[in-house]
A and B are shown apart, each in its own frame.
Chain A
Amino acid sequence: GDSVTQMEGPVTLSEEAFLTINCTYTATGYPSLFWYVQYPGEGLQLLLKATKADDKGSNKGFEATYRKETTSFHLEKGSVQVSDSAVYFCALLTDSWGKLQFGAGTQVVVTP
Chain B
Amino acid sequence: DGGITQSPKYLFRKEGQNVTLSCEQNLNHDAMYWYRQDPGQGLRLIYYSQIVNDFQKGDIAEGYSVSREKKESFPLTVTSAQKNPTAFYLCASSISGGGGGYEQYFGPGTRLTVT
Q: Which residues of A come within 8 Å of B, CB atoms?
A: 4, 32, 34, 36, 41-46, 49, 51, 89, 93, 95-100, 102-105
Contacts and interface: CB of A to CB of B under 8 A. Distances in A.
Interface of B: 4, 6, 31, 33, 40-43, 45, 48, 50, 56, 58, 90, 92, 94, 96-99, 101-109, 111
Contact of A46 (B96, B105, B109, B111): B105
A99 B90 contact: no
Given A43-B90, A46-B103, A100 B97 contact: no
B106 A89 contact: no
B97 A102 contact: no
Contact of A43 (B56, B94, B106): B106
A87 B97 CA distance: 25
The 8 closest A-B pairs by CB, nearest first: A32-B101, A95-B99, A102-B42, A51-B101, A98-B97, A43-B106, A44-B106, A104-B42
